[in-house]
């Protein structure tokens, strides 16, 4: 079975050394996913695999036979941006923009994790529903570095969308 | 235009469009959030080969031989490039000439000396890792790594009166030794270049801050004419000084492309970025403050030791703002440089003040305690009327206002202070404050503004936007001057085919290139006025028309109208001291058992001249405050004392602040016009947010826990050891 990226099937690479990140950027031509460290330390390469967020640099492409991958390009386009993409623009949740696709992919999956009731270090208790408080967002987004220091605005953008979703 | 005198009557306060200053979202925002903005390594270029640099596993010596044949026999390998023109160090900011090029002579651990080129990245990476070479490494006992144990030379000195005497006689004196660790810019986008060669012309897609200087650096390194070189940097994934000058991947990709006559991409690995790109020097500083009973300074001393490689002229300019920030008759300021074999030291965001100001502001906090004067009041009492040595007036000075507004917003309780007054469970809680200051820089710049027959405008310059908001503010500026809403102005940047801008660095981009756009638009307004038959001074442009007159479309009559603006700072520099000022207040909690510090909240007030866009300006201030947290608590380069290698050369071990380290940040932008700073009355803003902020946190740690830590960063071990 091939790998599906943003609903389009692709053949897996012959070279088993190709990371999922390099496969997306070099083979599939989807350069929206960024390489910041190639070692799972920055989150710039975050994509969704079957709906869950992963660091695509820490995964080999050939391990994703049959998987469905969503990248930033699959979340929205300049003509039809997602609610989070719009909120990042409105709240200036970025500066240079290099960490941004990773932040937005990460936030997309993170909101689902909160909805699923998965607790984090910032949660009051391990059971029961979790509110997307600023502290929950900060904790859960701490795997995505932003050297420009847009954190406060990133939290504001995510909080706004989370609040809209809750309505 | 050359600026020789203050521009007190700025057109921008009279134009009716009212777009400048508005908190508009970034014009390139949707491209960034949808992943469609192309960064240097991301241009789709057919049959692009991949290059990976090979680096030296020792700190000083020579590479004697390289076994190319074995490497060339490996799968996919196309070439091993070891051209003598490969650069071995990055160029310093605004160098405009070739950096050191002797690739086989190794001066620091991790220096690149060859490039392996292959068909795929995986092949190139594998072959580079297995390249065989022989080398002669110098005896480690002969190589200096530690600035403290090395002879140093005095780079600059200012003396006035007799500081030692003032210290001896002073009612209150502080003599403090404070150290700060080395820092890395750690921009999220690693340094990258794709070079293409057509036999006579070289095109490089690169991640650079100052194309106007970088093109000269590449030309000089290759022995080529600038006319045959084109540099493109439309999007830069963060710079913070690390992309001011060309770095090793630029020449490596260019030489490979020229040798192989095929496009070649070279991207530094994160480890290579840490090992090769500019570091901020570590510093050891001595602060001496002599004051009377009321805290008024009579003596002011600031000396420091920094380091760099042999032959580098850059020395972390920690004294810059100390020259004029506080009064004190008797002064001694001095800077020493030690030559050590660590990677090149150069500009990292806010070179100088980023570490000089925190040290000074910790010493000021100690003096406040010593004198019993409230820390805010102490600073207010010591603001000089003019430059304390040269007597030059300030162009505009907002320190007092920033201190007061920030104190107010933060809820600062004035009065004498005592540490360890508030505890919640395991946490000591306290507050601290510090002043901010950053010298104002400005440079010559060009920009072309063209009115199109359809009534839109196009701004072109090779200036870059490194996350600073250049695209947006230049659109707002031109829109304001020409009476167009921002969306009717297209801004094209980052291509040396356009007129030379100023480049992004030293916080000078907006005021320099903004002034060039202002000058170009003045020319266009003159022409429009004459076409409409109205007096130039009376012309009022709004929403694409002259007030009570013809539309731009009619005046243009189907043709482009273009003007190139040139701005150059004149000798106004000699007449005024121009600087951005500000103040920070922080509340922290310090764990009494572990020494861990968390920042609960932080307020910053800044005066940086005209605000060109309230949204992007606020973000710049916030970014600086986040860096202040890093300087205060986590960021430090660690070098192995034995062999000089950088131990923490990745983002897992070099700790930049993460989301949860950063609380809500309260930013106050103090209204200011600085007519001597630039024709548009704006100053820099990208660095001011981190010129002292670390001290507000350090002083809050002391107020909370009683731990007076004298070494930045204030990691838990240090805080714990200093706690009473
Ligand atoms: S590139 Fe994958 S985590 Fe940094
Ligand atoms: S926007 Fe530049 S690193 Fe986050």
Which residue(s) pair with B436 in the sheet?
Answer: B582
pTM of model > 0.90:
yes
Averaged pLDDT, B620-646: 97
Note whether B248 and B87 are within 8 A (CB).
yes
Single residue among A24, A53, A75 that ends a domain in this structure:
A75
A15 and A67 fall within a common domain = yes
CB neighbours of B43 closer than 8 A, spacing ≥ 6? Answer: B194, B205
Say if residue B532 is exposed, middle or buried (CB neighbours under 10 Å; 0-12, 13-18, 19+): middle
A132: domain CATH number is 1.10.150.120
Under 8 Å CB pairs connecting chains A and B tally to 189
Within 13 A of B474's CA, how many CA atoms are on the CB side? 34
| Distance between Cα A145 and ligand 2 center (Å) | 8
Residue A167 has pLDDT above 80, yes or no: no
Averaged pLDDT, A50-71: 98
Single residue among A30, A56, A75 that ends a domain in this structure:
A75
A67: domain CATH number is 3.10.20.30
A134 and A118 fall within a common domain = yes
Averaged pLDDT, A101-106: 98
A88 and A24 fall within a common domain = no
The pLDDT value given to residue A1: 67
Averaged pLDDT, B167-171: 98
Which of A25, A37, A61 best tests ligand 1's pocket when mutated (most atoms within 8 Å of CB)? Answer: A37
For A138, the closest of B235, B616, B660 (CB atoms) is B660
Residue A150 has pLDDT above 80, yes or no: yes
A96 and A139 fall within a common domain = yes
Residue A89 has pLDDT above 90, yes or no: yes
In this structure, what are the phi and psi dihedrals at residue A47, rounded to the nearest 5 degrees? -135, 170
Single residue among A75, A102, A132 that ends a domain in this structure:
A75
Tally the domains of chain A.
2
Averaged pLDDT, B490-512: 95
| Cα distance between residue A144 and residue A110, in whole Å | 12
The pLDDT value given to residue B717: 98
A68 and A120 fall within a common domain = no
Note whether B51 and B81 are within 8 A (CB).
yes
B-chain residues near A101 (CB < 8 A): 33, 35
Ligand index nearest the alpha carbon of residue A21:
1
Local confidence band at B2 (pLDDT 50, 70, 90 cut-offs): confident
Residue B108 has which token pair? 């620091």
**Domains, chain B, ranges and CATH?**
2-37+442-567 (3.30.365.10), 40-140+188-276 (3.30.365.10), 352-440+578-722 (3.30.365.10)
Q: In whole numbers, what is the pLDDT of chain A averaged over residues? A: 97
Residue B674 has which token pair? 């600085």
Q: In whole numbers, what is the pLDDT of chain B averaged over residues? A: 97
Instruction: Print the SS3 string covering B523-535.
Output: HHHHHHHHHHCCC
A14 and A44 fall within a common domain = yes
Residue A75 has pLDDT above 80, yes or no: yes
A87 and A71 fall within a common domain = no
Residue closest to B586 by CA, chosen among B361, B282, B320: B361
Cis status, amide bond into B416, omega within 30 of 0: no
Return the axis-axis angle of helices A151-166 and B614-629, rounded to nearest 10°.
110
A51 and A102 fall within a common domain = no
The pLDDT value given to residue B522: 96
A100 and A62 fall within a common domain = no
Averaged pLDDT, A79-104: 98
B-chain residues near A150 (CB < 8 A): 619, 622-623
A9 and A43 fall within a common domain = yes
Residue B671 has pLDDT above 80, yes or no: yes
Please confirm, yes or no, whether B2 is among the known catalytic residues.
no
A64 and A124 fall within a common domain = no
Residue B665 has pLDDT above 70, yes or no: yes
CA distance A129 to chain B (A): 21
A50 and A117 fall within a common domain = no
pLDDT in tens, B461-476: 999 999 999 999 999 9
Could you say which of B217, B282, B353, B687 is catalytic?
B687
The lowest-confidence range among A87-91, B298-302, B569-573 is B569-573
| Cα distance between residue B112 and residue B340, in whole Å | 18
Ligand 1 nearest atom to the CA of residue A58, by list position:
2
Structural domain that includes position A160: 83-166
């Amino acid at each position: 079975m091939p790998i599906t990226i943003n609903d389009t099937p692709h053949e897996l690479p012959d070279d088993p050394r190709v990371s999922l990140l390099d496969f997306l950027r070099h083979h599939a031509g989807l350069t929206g996913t960024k390489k910041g460290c190639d070692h799972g330390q920055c989150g710039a390469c975050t994509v969704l695999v079957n709906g869950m967020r992963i660091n695509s640099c820490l995964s080999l492409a050939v391990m994703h036979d049959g998987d469905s991958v969503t990248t930033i390009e699959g979340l929205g386009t300049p003509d039809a941006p997602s609610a989070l993409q719009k909120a990042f623009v409105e709240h200036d949740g970025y500066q240079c923009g290099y960490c941004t696709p990773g932040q937005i992919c990460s936030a997309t999956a993170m909101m689902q994790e909160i909805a699923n009731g998965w607790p984090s270090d910032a949660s009051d208790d391990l059971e029961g529903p979790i509110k997307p408080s600023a502290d929950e967002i900060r904790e859960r987004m701490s795997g995505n570095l932003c050297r420009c220091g847009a954190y406060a605005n990133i939290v504001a953008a995510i909080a706004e969308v989370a609040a809209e979703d809750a309505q | 235009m050359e600026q020789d005198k203050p521009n007190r009557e700025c057109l921008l306060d009279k134009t009716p469009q009212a777009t400048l200053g508005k908190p508009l979202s970034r014009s390139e925002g949707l491209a960034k959030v949808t992943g469609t903005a192309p960064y240097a390594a991301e241009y789709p270029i057919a049959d692009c080969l991949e290059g990976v640099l090979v680096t030296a596993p020792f700190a000083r010596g020579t590479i004697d031989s390289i076994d190319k044949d074995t490497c060339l026999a490996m799968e996919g390998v196309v070439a091993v490039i070891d051209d003598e023109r490969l650069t071995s160090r990055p160029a310093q900011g605004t160098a405009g000439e070739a950096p050191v090029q002797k690739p086989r002579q190794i001066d620091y651990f991790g220096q690149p000396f060859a490039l392996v080129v292959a068909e795929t990245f995986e092949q190139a990476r594998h072959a580079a890792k297995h390249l065989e070479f022989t080398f002669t490494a110098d005896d480690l006992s002969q190589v200096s790594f530690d600035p403290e144990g090395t002879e140093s030379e005095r780079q600059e000195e200012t003396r006035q009166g007799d500081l030692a005497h003032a210290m001896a006689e002073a009612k209150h004196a502080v003599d403090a030794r404070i150290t700060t660790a080395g820092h890395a810019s750690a921009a999220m986008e690693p340094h990258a270049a794709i070079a293409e060669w057509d036999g006579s012309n070289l095109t490089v897609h690169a991640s650079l801050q100052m194309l106007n200087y970088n093109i000269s650096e590449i030309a000089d390194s290759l022995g080529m004419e600038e006319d045959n070189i084109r540099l493109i940097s439309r999007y830069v994934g963060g710079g913070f000084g690390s992309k001011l000058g060309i770095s090793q991947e630029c020449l490596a990709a260019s030489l490979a492309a020229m040798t192989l006559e095929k496009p070649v991409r070279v991207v530094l690995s994160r480890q290579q970025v840490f090992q090769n790109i500019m570091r901020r020097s570590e510093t050891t500083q001595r602060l001496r403050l002599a004051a009377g009973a009321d805290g008024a300074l009579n003596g002011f001393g600031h000396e420091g030791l920094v380091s760099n490689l042999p032959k580098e002229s850059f020395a972390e300019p920690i004294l810059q703002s100390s020259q004029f920030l506080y009064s004190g008759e008797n002064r001694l300021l001095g800077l020493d440089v030690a030559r050590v074999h660590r990677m090149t030291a150069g500009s990292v965001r806010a070179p100088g003040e980023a570490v000089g100001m925190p040290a000074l502001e910790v010493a000021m906090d100690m003096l406040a305690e010593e004198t019993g004067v409230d820390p805010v009041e102490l600073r207010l009492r010591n603001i000089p009327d003019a430059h304390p040595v040269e007597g030059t007036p300030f162009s505009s000075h907002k320190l007092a206002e920033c201190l007061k507004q920030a104190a107010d917003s933060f809820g600062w309780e004035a009065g004498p202070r005592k540490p360890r007054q508030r505890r919640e469970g395991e946490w000591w809680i306290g507050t601290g404050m510090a002043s901010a200051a950053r010298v104002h820089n400005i440079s010559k710049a060009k920009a072309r503004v063209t009115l199109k027959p359809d009534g839109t405008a196009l701004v072109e310059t090779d200036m870059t936007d490194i996350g600073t908001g250049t695209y947006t503010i230049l659109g707002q500026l031109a829109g304001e001057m020409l009476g167009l809403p921002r969306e009717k102005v297209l801004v094209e940047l980052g291509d040396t085919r356009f007129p030379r801008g100023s480049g992004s660095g030293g916080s000078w981009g907006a005021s320099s290139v903004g002034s060039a756009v202002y000058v170009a638009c003045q020319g266009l307004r003159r022409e429009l006025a004459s076409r409409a038959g109205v007096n130039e001074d009376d012309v009022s442009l709004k929403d694409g028309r002259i007030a009570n007159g013809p539309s731009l479309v009619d005046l243009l009559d189907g043709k482009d109208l273009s003007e190139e603006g040139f701005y150059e700072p004149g000798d106004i520099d000699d007449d005024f001291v121009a600087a951005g000022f500000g103040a920070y207040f922080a509340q922290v909690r310090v764990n009494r058992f572990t020494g861990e510090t968390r920042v609960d909240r932080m307020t910053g007030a800044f005066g940086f001249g005209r605000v060109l866009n309230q949204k992007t300006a606020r973000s710049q201030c916030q970014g600086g405050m986040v860096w202040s947290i890093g300087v205060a608590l986590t960021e430090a380069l660690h070098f192995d004392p034995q062999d000089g290698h950088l131990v923490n050369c990745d983002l897992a071990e070099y700790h930049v602040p993460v989301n949860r380290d950063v609380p809500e940040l309260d930013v106050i932008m103090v209204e200011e016009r600085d007519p001597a700073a630039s024709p548009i009355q704006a100053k820099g803003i990208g660095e001011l947010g981190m010129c002292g902020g670390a001290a507000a946190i350090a002083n809050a740690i002391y107020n909370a826990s009683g731990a007076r830590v004298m070494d930045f960063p204030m990691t838990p071990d240090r805080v714990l050891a200093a706690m009473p």
